[in-house]
Copies of this chain bind each other. A is one copy, B any other.
Amino acid sequence: MSKASLQFENVSFSYENGHEEKEILNTLSFDVQNGEFVSIIGPSGSGKSTIFKLITGLNQPANGEIFINETNYSNRLGKVGYMPQQDLLMPWRTIIENAALPLEIQGMKKREAYDKVRELLVEFGLNGVEHKYPSELSGGMKQRISFLRTVLSGSNVLLLDEPFSSLDAITRLSMQEWLLTQWQKLKLSILFITHDVDEALFLSDRIFVFTESPVRKFVEVNVPLERPREIRDIHTPAVIEVKEQLIEQLRMGSTQ
């Protein structure tokens, strides 16, 4: 656990839009340890998704350095598993073809890839849809396919951008539990964006709360829970206290 899977060192970033510049991050530093589960919560538009785009290598920081598994890659593309906020399924591919995409890119044989996908489809309660096109699925189904696709990337670092926002409480819980099992089994490091404080509490070791814009520093909260957890653990007094504290911070942040 001493090694960092992910490190930001004084990272600054701005979007350029014609002549304007919009600063999103300003000398931000943090790290995610090997095997750690960290959530980010913060107001809409504060720059959470932007951090993911920086880690994946889609955007480049204006200043500062980003380390993945302690390496400062010149090209970070393909180093982590990334689930974007929109499901971004390819309309011309069937569900199974969409989900098998990362396996295909890694060069796996079609048949093998499809078998692997089919297995997961069953686990995710999605059997029978494999030959449908995305436009024939419900919103929550599409989101699960996108999640499934990310998990198949096989990377030890996963970046999940609101993966369960379109899921009902029960499906969501079963996906959360599934995720925790995999996380422990495969010793994954996960950075998880969510708007749901309960979800963050249930899943994470630490929670980063973004409050200012541009993001310079943030409040960090440790979740006072052992592993393995059950969903009802988040109703223990210690956790409820943390939760109220979190909500207070978010409120302060948004009225700043």
Instruction: Among B166, B195, B251, point to the contact of A44 (Cβ < 8 A).
Output: B166
Give A85 to B169 CA distance when docked, in angstroms: 17
Chain B proximity of A176: nearest CB distance (Å): 13
Q: Which residues from 74 to 106 on chain A have a C-beta closer than 8 Å to any C-beta of chain B?
A: 85-86
Residue of B nearest to A126 (CB): B45
Measured between beta carbons, the chain B residues less than 8 angstroms from A132 are: 17
Q: Which B residues lie within 8 Å of A44 (CB)?
A: 138-141, 144, 166-168, 171
- Give A43's nearest chain B residue, CB to CB: B168
* Complexed CA–CA distance, A251 and B42 (Å): 30
Q: Do residues B139 and A49 form an inter-chain contact, with CB atoms below 8 A? A: yes
Stoichiometry, as copies per complex, reads 2
A58, B196: Cα distance in complex, Å: 32
User: In chain B, what residue has the closest Cβ to A170?
Assistant: B254
Report A81-137 residues with CB < 8 Å from chain B CB.
85-86, 132, 136-137
Task: Let me know if A250 is at the binding interface, CB within 8 A.
Answer: yes
- Which residue in B161, B167, B168, B197 is a CB contact (below 8 Å) of A169? B197
Taking CB atoms and an 8 Å cut-off, the chain A residues in 157-178 that contact chain B are 161-162, 165-172
- A15 vs B49: C-alpha distance when bound (angstroms): 35
Residues of B within 8 Å of A172, CB to CB, are: 195
Say if the beta carbon of A186 comes within 8 Å of chain B: no
Could you mark each residue 10-53 of chain A with 1 if its beta carbon is under 8 Å from any beta carbon of chain B, else 0?
Answer: 00000101000000000000000000000001111100110000
Q: Determine whether A247 belongs to the interface, using a CB cutoff of 8 Å to chain B.
A: yes
Chain B residue with Cβ nearest A140: B44
What's the minimum C-beta distance from A218 to chain B, rounded to whole angstroms? 14
Shortest CB distance A207–B (Å) = 13
Of A44, A165, A195, A254, most B-chain CB atoms within 10 Å: A44
Q: Which residues of B contact A247 (CB under 8 A)?
A: 169
Minimal beta-carbon separation of A16 from chain B (angstroms):
11
Given contact pairs A42-B168, A166-B195, a sample of 6 additional A-B residue pairs in the complex whose CB atoms are under 8 Å apart: A45-B141, A48-B138, A139-B161, A162-B166, A168-B250, A171-B254
In the assembled complex, 23 residue pairs joining A and B whose CB atoms fall closer than 8 Å, in A order, are A15-B136, A17-B132, A44-B138, A44-B139, A44-B166, A44-B168, A45-B138, A45-B140, A49-B138, A85-B139, A139-B161, A140-B195, A165-B165, A165-B166, A167-B195, A168-B195, A169-B195, A169-B196, A169-B197, A169-B250, A170-B251, A170-B253, A171-B254
